[in-house]
Amino acid sequence: MNGDSMKTPNEPTDASLQEMPELSEPRFHRRPGRGHHANRSAGEIIAIDPEVWLHFGTAEAVNDALRGMIAERKKVAGS
């Protein structure tokens, strides 16, 4: 067995590079900064325990529940 036949090329061939399409969609580009949450302040990113998340399932549901709690507290505080 020849050792050269077992080697795979490290670089793509010119033909395979010509077949690859250029990716220009913005979703494929890395955003500048520290990561994809770089434009958010630290107060906007929170962790929710998995057992709590099971009761909501979406960020919108969590936010709706919290807004409801805030509204109830305002009602109680106002009366």
pLDDT at 76 over 80: yes
User: How many other CB atoms sit within 10 Å of the CB of residue 56?
Assistant: 14
Closest CA to 52 of 65, 37, 67, 68: 65
Note down the domain range covering 38.
16-78
Query: Is residue 9 situated within a structural domain?
Result: no
pLDDT at residue 33 in the model = 59
Q: What is the pLDDT of residues 53-74, one digit of tens each?
A: 999 988 899 999 999 999 999 9
Query: Is residue 4 situated within a structural domain?
Result: no
Query: Is residue 48 situated within a structural domain?
Result: yes
CB 47 within 8 A of CB 33: no
d(CA 7, CA 41): 50
pLDDT at residue 78 in the model = 81
